Structure 1
Amino acid sequence: MGRNLKYQFKTCIEKNFKEKMDKHSIKKNKQMNKTRIFSFADRKNLIDFTANFSNWMKENHSEVKLVKHINSNHIQEFLNEKAKKCSQATLREYSSHIRKMSNLINSTYKTNIKYDFKTPTSVSGKQIIRDQQMKLEDYKRIHEAMKDGSNGQKAIEIGKNFGLRISEITKLQKRDIDLDKKEILVKDAKGGRDRTVNFNTEEQIKVATKLYNSVSRDLDRIVAVKENAINMALNRAMKKLNIKNEYKETSFHSIRKLYAQEEYERYRLAGDSIEMACCKVSEQLGHSAERGLDKKLISRYIKNIW
């Protein structure tokens, strides 16, 4: 163990991350599951968080040179300070990273750290509510405002018709779209899981075919830009149409919710019960079917439940 805290944390993260690891067998081992990092997105998030935390430690507790000497008081002080600036959702995310951080330290440096802390209540006033669903007419206006075949337009088409997260869209390749089976394979999604999204409507089939034919090689990405570029393209279109303020805190996520509503209505019209339709939509979104039974959670996606 040596160098600065940031380097030590990076060592912990890299030693517990392996590309294309057997996630299913690892998840059966609960102890190993606590330390393994399942995706590039999780790896990046942990690197960003530990860098942020290391900088804070350097400013406030420069006497601490080793990660194993970080204690619960440091953690609580960090969170209490962040509560003045961050939303409650961000504080919960930080707390999750901290728990993962302690497991990584223990696994890498053979310690037995267990932080005792409480997630404070945010006093920042930045309680972002991301449960706004985009109106279909607004989606159509945005789609028309974007250049045909542009990465921005393709990205919102994927979000609206297949419900992919923006991080999943940037990784989608030509080979992941199966026009014969009418399904899209979403690899290394949130939580490190793969999932299959089925498409059945005339619009979905038309969009899937268009996306498939928009690139040449199997390994080509359908939307070959970074996440931020998609958000920027969407924001430009909304500002141009003077509707940005209507989706100030949610932007792309609101399109995913439009997808959820349309899929729910399709399942209900096909004869599914409310519970079954909610569970199916939850799975299509990349959540568990059980989450579809949680009325509070599913209502963030499906606004009109009938």
Structure 2
Amino acid sequence: MGRNLQYQFLNSIDKAFDGGGHDKHTDKHNGKHLDTVYSYAERKGLIELSSQIARFIKESYPDTKKVLDIKEEMIQNFLNSKSETCNKETLGQYGSRIHKLEHIVNDVYKGSASWYNDLIIPTSKVSNDKTRNISMSREDYNSILNRAYNMNSSSKALIAIELAGHFGMRVSETCKFQPRDVSLEAMKLHIHESKGKKNRDIDIRKRDVNFLERIIEGLPQDARIVDIKEDSVNKYLARAEEALGIRDKYQEADTGIHCIRKMVAQERYDEFRKQGLSKKDSLNAVSIYLGHGMDRDETMKQYVLNIH
């Protein structure tokens, strides 16, 4: 296997190329359809994609010389990069072709490359729905808080923004939050969900304790901590962004606190991955944390924009 990656891919594709001898429907029934390249059109598509992958690996992972040494995370990062320019349909086709490339490479080179099983097809960044692709940076978020602290702001909207930044709450959830929803003994937070969904409990981390103690101090257990309208929270956020010169990043999306919610989603996903969870399990964990429930991969790809 001394040749370069592009040659190794081409060799695999050509060895798997049939050109009409096999019946694809029969092979599908027997579970053998991923081992054969059935047409010149399919061969061309596989060659084009494998050439792109080979170039990406060469540029990003120059020490990787053999196709069997290509890791799943490299393929994931390749797909993530293609999401900047490819639409949803093309990304889906790439996923299917990667599945076949994995099989024929393993068949030809007698290996155990695993690229597809935990692969997540990312959301296309060329979507017309810009709100799906806007997440606040933690740097911008901290700038908003620092400005408010320096101004000695006493706005309840600031507390809502902090709740969103700590726990990924929806703006409606911040405006329903009460002191009795905080259990520091059990280290649990009760969140009253919106949109007719079930309420949820999430873990309180040690780094959240001082903040929670500060916002509930001296308040009745059944008081609304953020006793203002939801719209007032988002207007406060927009004014802060304008004052800091960062409004242009977020105003087209017009998502308000939702940008912060997506920031938290990405951070939580990163944490779950570091803990050793698979990509799919990490997306599920984030989905439950945010109140979306299980098996909502397509929804969560609108929140977690860097899948790795």
Q: TM-score, normalised by structure 2?
A: 0.54
Question: Which entry has the higher C-alpha Rg, 1 or 2?
Answer: 2
Q: Note if 1:135 corresponds to 2:140.
A: no
Query: What is the CA deviation profile of residues 165-204 of structure 1, one whole-angstrom value per residue up to 9, with x for unaligned ones?
Result: 00111111110111121221112433331111222252x2
Listed as ranges, the matches of 1:104-143 within 5 Å are 127-143=129-145
**Residue identity in the other structure for 2:210:** K
Q: What is aligned with 1:171?
A: 176
Report the CA distance between 1:297 and its aligned residue.
2.4
Q: What is aligned with 1:212?
A: 216
Q: Note if 1:221 corresponds to 2:212.
A: no
Q: What is aligned with 1:283?
A: 288
- Give the SS at the match of 2:295: helix
Report the CA distance between 1:267 and its aligned residue.
1.5
Structure 1 runs of 4+ off > 3 angstroms? none
Aligned partners of 2:284 and 2:295 also within 8 Å: yes
Q: In structure 2, which of residues 214, 238, 247 is the aligned counterpart of residue 244 of structure 1?
A: 247
Q: What is aligned with 1:157?
A: 162
Report the CA distance between 1:145 and its aligned residue.
1.6
Query: What is the CA deviation profile of residues 112-150 of structure 1, one whole-angstrom value per residue up to 9, with x for unaligned ones?
Result: xxxxxxxxxxxxxx9552431100100000111224443
- State the percentage of identical aligned residues: 32
Q: Which moved more, 1:166-175 or 1:193-202?
A: 193-202
Q: Any stretches of 5+ residues in structure 1 without a counterpart? A: 1-125
Quick one: distance in 2 between partners of 1:135 and 1:193? 29
Q: In structure 2, which of residues 230, 234, 258 is the aligned counterpart of residue 231 of structure 1?
A: 234
**Residue identity in the other structure for 1:233:** Y
Quick one: distance in 2 between partners of 1:223 and 1:258? 21
Q: Any stretches of 5+ residues in structure 2 without a counterpart? A: 1-127
Report the CA distance between 1:261 and its aligned residue.
1.1
Quick one: distance in 1 between partners of 2:195 and 2:215? 23
- Give the SS at the match of 1:192: coil
Distance 1:255 1:144, change over 3 A: same
Listed as ranges, the matches of 1:34-49 within 5 Å are none
Report the CA distance between 1:272 and its aligned residue.
1.8
Aligned partners of 1:197 and 1:284 also within 8 Å: yes
Quick one: distance in 1 between partners of 2:231 and 2:305? 27
**Residue identity in the other structure for 2:229:** K
- Give the SS at the match of 2:291: coil
